[in-house]
C-alpha cells in the first residue's frame, strides 16, 4: 500500500483546509518550530485509527479539533482524509471526522465503517497508526541511541521485511 494524498480540515493547527501530496519514496517534513510538522504526522496516524489521545499529545480525543486563537474562533469538527492505493492497486479513501460531543466517525470509499474496520485495513506491520515507518521526533532519538542490532530490527520493521528472517531461520532448520 502507498499513500497518495492527505487532506486536513480543522485538525489541530490546520484550521483551513490543507492538502498534501505524498510522492513515492521517503518523505521528510521540514519547517520552523511550531509550524505543524508533528501535527501532520499525527493526522496521518489519527486517520489510520489512532485511539490514544496521549499519543496525539492531547488530554482527550477532541483536543485534535482546532481550539481557536485570540482572533479565530474554535472549530466544531476536525476531519482528515487519506487517499491511498492498496497492494491490489485499488483506490482507497479513508475519512475520519470528529465533532465536539459526538465522537469519531469513519468512512471508507464513501461508506460508513467502524473504527475496527479501519484498523484492519492498516493492520499489516508496515502501515497503521503505530507503524515504525512513521518516524516522529522522539523516535529519531531512539533510533540514534539504539544498539546496532536494535537499530537493524527497527529498520527491518519499517521496511516490512522483519518476517523474512523468521522464515529464513525456519527454512535453514529444515
Ligand atoms: P517543532 O519543530 O517544535 O517540533 P512542529 O512543526 O512539530 O514544531 P507542531 O507540534 O506540529 O509543530 O505544532 C504545534 C502548534 O500546533 C502549536 O502552535 C500549537 O498551539 C498548535 N496546536 C496544537 N493543537 C492545536 C489545537 N487543537 N488547536 C489549535 N492549535 C493547536
Ligand atoms: Mg514537532
d(CA 100, CA 74): 11
Cell 489512532, located at residue: 50
pTM, entire model? 0.82
- Ligand showing the shortest atom-to-Cα distance for residue 30: 1
Mean pLDDT, the chain, as a whole number? 88
Q: Which of 9, 28, 33, 39 for mutating ligand 1's site (highest number of atoms within 8 Å of CB)?
A: 39
Of the two residues 6 and 159, the one the predictor is more confident about is 6
Would you say residue 48 has pLDDT above 80? yes
- Whether residues 118 and 150 share a domain: the answer is no
- Check whether residue 120 and residue 174 sit in a common domain: no
pLDDT of residue 21: 95
Q: Are residues 81 and 163 in the same domain?
A: no
Q: Tell me: do 58 and 14 sit in the same domain.
A: yes
Q: Is the pLDDT of residue 165 over 70?
A: no
155 and 117: one domain? no
Residues 35 and 119 in one domain: yes
Residues 51 and 100 in one domain: yes
Percent of the chain with pLDDT over 90: 57
**Annotated binding site for ATP, which residues?**
32-39
CA of 36 to the centre of ligand 2 (A): 7
Q: Which of 127, 144, 162 delimits the end of a domain?
A: 127
Between these two residues, 157 and 142, which has the higher pLDDT value? 142
- Ligand 1 binding pocket mutation candidate from 9, 30, 34 (most atoms within 8 A of CB): 34
CATH number for position 99: 3.40.50.300
Q: What is the domain extent for residue 161?
A: 135-174
Task: Report the atom number in ligand 1 closest to the C-alpha of 29.
Answer: 6
- Number of domain units in the chain: 2
Q: Which of 130, 127, 128, 133 minimizes the C-alpha distance to 154?
A: 133
* 65 and 95 in a common domain: yes
Q: Are 10 and 70 contained in the same domain?
A: yes
Does the interface ipTM go beyond 0.90?
yes
Domain match, 25 and 67 both: yes
C-alpha cell at 93: 479513501
- Backbone dihedral region of 135: left (phi > 0), alpha (psi from -120 to 50 degrees) or beta? beta
Q: Do both 94 and 140 map to the same domain?
A: no
Please tell me which residue, 43 or 155, carries the higher pLDDT value.
Answer: 43
Chain segment 82-132, per-residue pLDDT in tens: 999 988 899 999 999 999 999 999 999 999 999 989 988 887 645 666 776
Amino acid at each position: 500500500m502507498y499513500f497518495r494524498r492527505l487532506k486536513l480540515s480543522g485538525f489541530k493547527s490546520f484550521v483551513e483546509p490543507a492538502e498534501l501530496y505524498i510522492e513515492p519514496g521517503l518523505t521528510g517534513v521540514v519547517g520552523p518550530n511550531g509550524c505543524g510538522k508533528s501535527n501532520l504526522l499525527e493526522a496521518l496516524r489519527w486517520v489510520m485509527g489512532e485511539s490514544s489521545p496521549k499519543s496525539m499529545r492531547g488530554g482527550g480525543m477532541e483536543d485534535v479539533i482546532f481550539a481557536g486563537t485570540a482572533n479565530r474562533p474554535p472549530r466544531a469538527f476536525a476531519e482528515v482524509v487519506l487517499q491511498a492505493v492498496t497492494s491490489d492497486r485499488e483506490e482507497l479513501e479513508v475519512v475520519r471526522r470528529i465533532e465536539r460531543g459526538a465522537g469519531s466517525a469513519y468512512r471508507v470509499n464513501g461508506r460508513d465503517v467502524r473504527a475496527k474496520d479501519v484498523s484492519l485495513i492498516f493492520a499489516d506491520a508496515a502501515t497503521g497508526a503505530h507503524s515504525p515507518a512513521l518516524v516522529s521526533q522522539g523516535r529519531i532519538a531512539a533510533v540514534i541511541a539504539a544498539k546496532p542490532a536494535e537499530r537493524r530490527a527497527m529498520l527491518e520493521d519499517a521496511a516490512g521485511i522483519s518476517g523474512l528472517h523468521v522464515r529464513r531461520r525456519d527454512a535453514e532448520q529444515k
